[in-house]
């Protein structure tokens, strides 16, 4: 099942539980605006190249729209639509004053030089500058983009609208980026895991973890979990997978991975087949890489008691059903990985105030948002007698629906 079908299905189930009016339900699903622009740039060799850029702005009932911009050769409109919609529910679950959006450019960033990427980013910004803005739509980095991309968008946007650091988040710290933003999603995963385990009378310390993915989110989650006393018994990335039942030495692994561009060949553990990683024996499984990795093929073999969805949409709906029958608890992505967008919100707030926070304040505020978010989520589970995923969806959809009705959507 693709991301859009799964997200829409979750939304419809939440709408049914909440007893939403069918007209309102339909209105909430349709994106507010879809933008598609042609971006033509001169390449370094003097030839012209054309790319398609787009932005899907899903909903702005609760505030400016928020979401990433990805540079990827196969940007599928359906997937971007699903991700924009997911951002609407995610920001509502996190209880930050935003709606959802997503966008990108269909290009292969690996094939473009730095100066070509800069020209492409600037042309894209010129085409959409009047449709984004501090109080309209605030982009952020995603696959294939980074703080430098945000710096170019900020500069180009500011040529039209005056210096506006709050127009994008995930910026370099020197241009108004927030301290703690880099680790935010991984740190949020730690706080989410702590909240779930605490509910069951456990703590991170002494639990055995398996983490799929060692990019930004996976590596920060691994580092912070091991600092909190968790034992990480297996990890994989694009190069391979390793396990060590006594626990991997994360600081050494981080150093090795930086120097060798991957974890393959690390001598502090045994190489295993990356496909078998998800079914390794552990207490907590954290998929932090791609979507759709837990499906009906492998769900029966999963031995973890808890799954924390650090990636977007890692569990297929079919796997969801198999796992819940087995009694596995799944903390859904729209809550578990919302640390990133929450600290993006803090960055935006700091930029609007023109007053930057210390990193301790950022981390403390994040912990308070995540802990409160988990309590709200559990309350919805109680009200609607549903699992954690539906608890999160009903929480998010209900907040957006209430804002929509209060603003007067029928007028």
Is 11 a domain residue? no
361 included as an active-site residue: no
Residue 348, CB-side half-sphere exposure with 13 Å CA sphere: 25
Is 242 a domain residue? yes
Is 221 a domain residue? yes
Select from 165, 193, 215 the last residue of a domain: 165
Q: Is 404 annotated as a binding residue?
A: no
Residues 6+ apart with CB under 8 A from 388: 329, 330, 331, 332, 335, 377, 381
pLDDT in tens, 81-120: 888 999 999 999 999 999 999 999 999 999 999 999 999 9
Q: Is 136 annotated as a binding residue?
A: no
Residues 233 and 325 in one domain: yes
Residues 217 and 134 in one domain: no
Is 12 a domain residue? no
Residues 205 and 310 in one domain: yes
Q: Is 203 annotated as a binding residue?
A: no
Select from 309, 335, 361 the last residue of a domain: 335
Q: What's the mean per-residue pLDDT of the chain?
A: 93
pLDDT in tens, 111-153: 999 999 999 999 999 999 999 999 999 999 988 899 999 999 9
SS3 33: strand
Residue predicted with more confidence, 194 or 8: 194
Instruction: Output the CA–CA distances (angstroms, integers) from residue 261 to 104, 147, 405, in the order listed.
Output: 26, 20, 50
In order, the DSSP letters of 162-187 are S--GGGSSS--GGGTPPTTTTTHHHH
Q: What angle do CA 235, 261, 224 make, to 5 degrees?
A: 45
Is 103 a domain residue? yes
Question: What would the two tokens of residue 132 be?
Answer: 């984004």
At residue 274, does pLDDT exceed 90?
Answer: no
Q: Is 185 annotated as a binding residue?
A: yes
Is 308 a domain residue? yes
Residues 207 and 296 in one domain: yes
Could you tell me the CATH number of the domain that includes residue 209? Answer: 3.40.50.720
Residues 331 and 188 in one domain: yes
Q: Which domain holds residue 64?
A: 30-165
Select from 293, 316, 335 the last residue of a domain: 335
Residue predicted with more confidence, 73 or 156: 156
State the angle between helix axes of 147-161 and 114-128 in degrees (0 to 180), rounded to the nearest 10.
Answer: 40
Residues 215 and 159 in one domain: no
Is 148 a domain residue? yes
Residues 196 and 152 in one domain: no
**Residue 127 in contact with residue 53, Cβ under 8 Å?**
yes
Is 250 a domain residue? yes
Could you tell me the CATH number of the domain that includes residue 128? Answer: 3.40.50.10860
Which listed residue (12, 36, 43, 102) is catalytic? 102
Residues 272 and 241 in one domain: yes
Confidence (pTM): 0.93
User: Domain tally for the chain?
Assistant: 2
**N-term to C-term CA, the chain:** 37
Q: What is the DSSP letter of 357?
A: P
Q: Is 90 annotated as a binding residue?
A: yes
State the angle between helix axes of 359-384 and 388-407 in degrees (0 to 180), rounded to the nearest 10.
Answer: 100
Place of tokens 């700091």: 350
Residues 125 and 226 in one domain: no
Residues 35 and 161 in one domain: yes
């Amino acid at each position: 099942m693709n991301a859009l079908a799964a997200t829409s299905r979750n939304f419809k189930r939440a709408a049914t539980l909440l007893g939403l009016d069918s007209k309102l339900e339909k209105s909430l699903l349709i994106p507010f605006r879809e933008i598609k622009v042609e971006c033509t740039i001169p390449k370094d060799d003097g030839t012209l190249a054309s790319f398609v850029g787009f932005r899907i702005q899903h909903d702005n009932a609760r505030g400016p729209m928020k979401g990433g911009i990805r540079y990827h050769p196969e940007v599928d409109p359906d997937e971007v639509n699903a991700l924009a919609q997911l951002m609407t529910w995610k920001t509502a679950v996190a209880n930050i004053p935003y709606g959802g959006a997503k966008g990108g450019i269909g290009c292969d960033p690996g094939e473009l030089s730095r100066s070509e990427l800069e020209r492409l980013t600037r042309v894209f910004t010129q085409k959409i500058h009047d449709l984004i803005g501090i109080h309209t739509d605030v982009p952020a980095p995603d696959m294939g983009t980074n703080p430098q991309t945000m710096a170019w968008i900020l500069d180009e946007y500011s040529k039209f609208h005056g210096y506006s650091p709050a127009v994008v988040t995930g910026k370099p710290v020197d241009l108004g980026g927030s301290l703690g933003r880099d680790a935010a999603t991984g740190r949020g995963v730690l706080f989410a895991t702590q909240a779930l385990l605490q509910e069951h009378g456990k703590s991170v310390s002494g639990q055995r973890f398996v983490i799929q993915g060692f990019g930004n989110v996976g590596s920060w989650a691994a580092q912070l979990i091991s600092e909190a006393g968790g034992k990480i018994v297996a990890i994989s990335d694009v190069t391979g997978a390793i396990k060590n039942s006594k626990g991997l030495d994360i600081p050494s692994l981080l150093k090795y991975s930086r120097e060798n561009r991957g974890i393959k060949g690390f001598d502090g553990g045994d190489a295993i087949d990356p496909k078998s990683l998800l079914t390794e024996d552990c207490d907590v499984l954290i998929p932090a890489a791609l979507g759709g990795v837990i499906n009906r093929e492998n769900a029966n073999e999963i031995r973890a008691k808890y799954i924390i969805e650090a990636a977007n949409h890692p569990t297929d709906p079919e796997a969801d059903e198999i796992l819940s029958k087995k009694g596995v608890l799944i903390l859904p992505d729209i809550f578990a990985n919302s640390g990133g967008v929450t600290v993006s919100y803090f960055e935006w707030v700091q930029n609007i105030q023109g007053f930057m926070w210390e990193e301790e304040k950022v981390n403390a505020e994040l912990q308070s948002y995540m802990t409160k978010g988990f309590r709200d989520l559990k309350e919805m589970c109680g009200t609607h007698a549903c699992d954690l995923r539906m608890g999160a969806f009903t929480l998010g959809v209900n907040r957006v629906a209430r804002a929509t009705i209060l603003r007067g959507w029928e007028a």
